[in-house]
Amino acid sequence: MISSTKELGIRRKINLPLNKGFWGGVAMSAPFYAEFFSWWWAGLLIVPFLLFVFVRPEKTKCPHTAISPMIALLLLHLVALGLSDTVYESQVFKDLIVASLLLVIYLLADEDISVGFFYFLVPLSLVTALLGLVKAGLLDRGYLIGFMIDSCSYDPPGSALCINYNNLGLIWLVGIFGCLNKRFWWLLPLLIAAGALSGSRRFVVLMVFIPVVWVLLEGRSAVAKSVFTVLFSTVLIYGVTDPVSFDRYRSGEEPFRVLEFKFDAEDGVESDHFTVKINRSAPMVMLGTMADGTLGMGSRLDFWKLGVSMLGWMPQGWSYHEVFSCSFSPCSEFHYPHMSIMTEWIIGGGIFGFVAFAFYAWPFLLIWRAKRVLPIALFVVTLPYSLISGDTVFSLPICIACMLVALSSVRRDAPRTS
């Protein structure tokens, strides 16, 4: 029995690149790469899957009815675009295209796509985590990176890079699950330390559940590994950070210096004086911001109050974009309720508020009943990001991708034959 299992494992490794589910998973990782590169480049990850489906067409299995709320909300957004106006029409339309594309990938893949998904996501998360830690170490010692100053719209703290720090935290969390899935547990401290220093409170809270997931996956053998990982992650965080030094630069006692990497310079690096204000991102500091009685949600309360005041049974389309923009800025910046279910309720009325709730609850119930630890964990850690970060349920493609990857673990019925 042991030898046959090993042979099966070898066969699976050899056949892996030819598996439709594998290439479907690779395609599903595209939104994560699009966070760092343009969609024109990230979209290339979808091409092998489309070629595979074209060259070897097969009958697709009956999809789960749990995707019905997603289809209903896609149609709602499309109809609402035709019946109401929004100055952010291009962003809404882009979200619809990306979400529809991810849904098509899920439907055509027909099977578990997590292998290819993690295969391509883990390298991205590891490389960006390493870059983030190097950047955090330089920052604490008074060095800013020139090209990052030029390309970022703000000065990212700690290990955060030039993308939304919460999105970055989710990428590293999913990368952690990928390492657990691939038994690369010894790489976890790199991702945990980077996430803990990213300034994302959600990552700091959710990383507590990593040992729980680990033990559920591997049993008692994961306990010792978890202890080692926690200790090594702590050592890495203390090794990278230098709070005393950083406070001198943060307070303005000493000016930051900018590292410019130029090939035409004699020494390749130029330094100059630069004074900026950058927030601290240490884990305890981030947890401390949650002790205000609102669990760190104080910045969301005004948005939620306005959103609640707009709820009703009748659809209002995209009119809320103007209301929020003019309430929280001089009608010039993009603002929204910061609660996706509330947004869908405003757009489509009370019925679509329930549809939006089913968008999350229905797939989760299917995944829960399948009793597979990693898909359940992947779906659960995605919820805090999707529910209170984006505008609509489709505003964060990386969340849609995670949900569909988790749902792909649930077996689908074979196609009916006449």
What pLDDT shows up at residue 148?
A: 79
Residue 301 above 70 pLDDT?
yes
Reference 129, options 179, 169, 177; nearest CA is 169
pLDDT tens per residue across span 203-250: 999 999 999 999 999 998 899 999 999 999 999 999 999 988 988 888
pLDDT above 70 covers what percent of the chain? 87
Average pLDDT over residues 380-400: 96
pLDDT tens per residue across span 110-143: 889 999 999 999 999 999 999 999 999 999 998 8
Residue 146 above 60 pLDDT?
yes
Q: Distance between CA atoms of 90 and 275, rounded to whole angstroms?
A: 37
Q: Is 172 helix (H, G, I), strand (E, B) or coil?
A: helix
Those residues with Cβ within 8 angstroms of residue 75's Cβ, 6 or more apart along the chain or in another chain? none
Average pLDDT over residues 334-352: 96
Q: Using only the alpha carbons of the chain, give its radius of gyration.
A: 23
Residue 340 above 50 pLDDT?
yes
What pLDDT shows up at residue 251?
A: 81
Q: Tell me the whole-structure pTM to 2 decimals.
A: 0.90
Residue 17 above 60 pLDDT?
no
The average confidence (pLDDT) of the chain is 87
Q: Distance between CA atoms of 188 and 186, rounded to whole angstroms?
A: 6
CB 204 within 8 A of CB 197: no
Distance in angstroms between the alpha carbons of the first and the last residue of the chain: 39
Q: Residue 416 — very low, low, confident or very high, per pLDDT cuts 50/70/90? A: low
pLDDT tens per residue across span 90-112: 999 999 999 999 999 999 998 89
Q: Distance between CA atoms of 397 and 399, rounded to whole angstroms?
A: 5
- Among the residue ranges 262-271, 312-321, 354-363, 392-401, the one predicted with the least confidence is 262-271
Max Cα distance, the chain (Å):
79
CA angle 217, 222, 225 (to 5 degrees): 140
Per-state percent for the chain, helix, strand, coil, to nearest 5: 65, 5, 30
Q: Distance between CA atoms of 409 and 66, rounded to whole angstroms?
A: 13
- Among the residue ranges 83-92, 161-170, 294-303, 334-343, the one predicted with the least confidence is 294-303
Q: Distance between CA atoms of 86 and 203, rounded to whole angstroms?
A: 33
Reference 87, options 302, 333, 306; nearest CA is 333
Q: Is 63 helix (H, G, I), strand (E, B) or coil?
A: coil
Those residues with Cβ within 8 angstroms of residue 367's Cβ, 6 or more apart along the chain or in another chain? 375, 376, 379, 406, 407, 409, 410
- Token duo for residue 156: 């990212």
What pLDDT shows up at residue 60?
A: 77
